[in-house]
Amino acid sequence: MTSATSPVIPGFHPDPSVCRVGKDYYLVCSSFEYFPGLPVFHSRDLVNWTQIGNALDRPSQLDLPPDTPSSGGLYAPTLRHHDGRFWLIVTNVASGGGNLVYTATDPAGPWSDPVRVPGVPSIDPDLAWDEDGTCWCTYAGVAQVRLDPSTGEILGEPYPVWSGTPGATAPEAPHLYRIGDHWYLMLAEGGTERGHSVSIARGPSPSGPFEPCPANPILTHRGTNKPVQNTGHADLVQAPDGSWWMLLLAVRPQGGTPGWHVLGRETFLAPVNWEDGWPVIGEVGVERAELPWPVAAPTPEPERDDFEPGDLAHHWISLRDRPTELVSTKERDSWLTLRARGASLDEPDAVLLGRRQQHLAFRARTLIDTAEGSGGLAVRLDEFHHYSIESAPGGRLSVIARIGSLRTITAEHTLPAGPVTLFVRTGPAPEPHDARTGPDSLVFGFESADGTATELATLDGRYLSTEVAGGFTGRVISLYAATGTAHFDWFDYAPLVR
């Protein structure tokens, strides 16, 4: 037995869907308004996951118009392997989107252009194949239809199937499995907030009739004081040794009442045992869990990017699109160049390059040159909730806070003109005995050439949380251009001990 901690994919990585091919596991997550879409991960032990690509990395695959709202875009993919190919179905809730199917022989890509599925009217679609090769698409509601995934044509009329606990809200995220002598239909219900849960039913065929598990919900943390909450939206996978496991989303609230989660919904792992033909879910938490196989030492994420010419690392994301004329590593040798398109981060067409915040305590830095415009380093949740330190020509620095309808400059400073190192980090741990305490604080400042750090402002982190801003995403640490052109020599990110 070896130990591992959870979450297994920290930060804004919600709605995990997983499949196994041989000894290899592959997983995708929702990406909402960010481009490229649907990060793809690989693992050999279900604990250490490496991002190997993004399924939707071409404009022909992913259309996110400028009016796509934050927390719009790509919802709840399902990833499956069937007949030698990987199949991926997802809902694009942006205007003109709908349900889309993509295929690949290699999950690292390239993935196909989309096949549209106009006959599936809801979100969270699932794919499952029976012994005859018939493909069944089950979706939020919960309803089902036979589907030709290669053409997107539905074969017959959709019909309702088991939709969870009577009276429970938001039956969604269905997944259909053939396990032993039964077909199992698993879904999430209760909403993706504190009431989130997982329930399951079984039946003799893909279309039922389905008998609910007498122990439903088989997983929920609602009404508990556990450090992990909002458990739900799960998928099952069997390991080569025959054991079963669940990948699911959950959050880690911090601070006082009501508790704020700032990293978004993260991917957690839980063991699954079977009793009387029903799954029994083990503990989901941040403590160390036991696994029956060796777990490799974690592979750290790249902590520094020097923006060498070529493709950007897979974890970098942008808002809605990434035109090469606005985001480039080729214009200035070993620098990232961003050209502004909107007036500020308040605009939906802001030009930024970001990475998900993956640790409760972190530090990020960048060296920026704004002789040709203005730009900076931001912590973003959406257009209405973000903090930034911004550099402008002439050495002018500003710390800007946008909270809902309020936008204010909280600090200003002037330096000699030229490139400057900007930083943001989390502040000291919050006071644990004050129920009003926020989850963290964010400290913005700059570093001089000798490495001396000067702090300009400390801002309350609760205003960059889902409980304040709403929506489905988490914080993204972003480099951005506000006006003209901004150049970035390097970026680094590191966890801090908290």
- Which residues are part of the catalytic machinery? 15, 172
In 84-124, beta strands by DSSP E: 85-92, 98-104, 115-116
pLDDT, tens only, 463-491: 999 999 999 999 999 999 999 999 999 99
Architecture of 2-291 per CATH? 5 Propeller (2.115)
What pLDDT is stored for residue 15 in this prediction?
98
- The residues spanned by each domain of the chain are 2-291, 304-495
Res 217 pLDDT > 90: yes
Rounded to an integer, the average pLDDT of 9-15 is 97
Helix (H, G, I), strand (E, B) or coil at 398: strand
Res 56 pLDDT > 90: yes
Architecture of 304-495 per CATH? Sandwich (2.60)
pLDDT, tens only, 329-385: 999 999 999 999 988 999 999 999 999 999 999 999 999 999 999 999 999 999 999
* Per-residue CA distances from 80 to 87, 146, 270, 271, 487 (Å): 5, 16, 20, 20, 41
The model's pTM is 0.96
What pLDDT is stored for residue 391 in this prediction?
98
CA dihedral 131, 137, 138, 141 (to 10 degrees): -160
pLDDT, tens only, 126-163: 999 999 999 999 999 999 999 999 999 999 999 999 99
**CB proximity list for 130: less than 8 A, separation 6 or greater:** 136, 178, 205, 206
Side chain identity, residue 375: G
Helix (H, G, I), strand (E, B) or coil at 481: strand
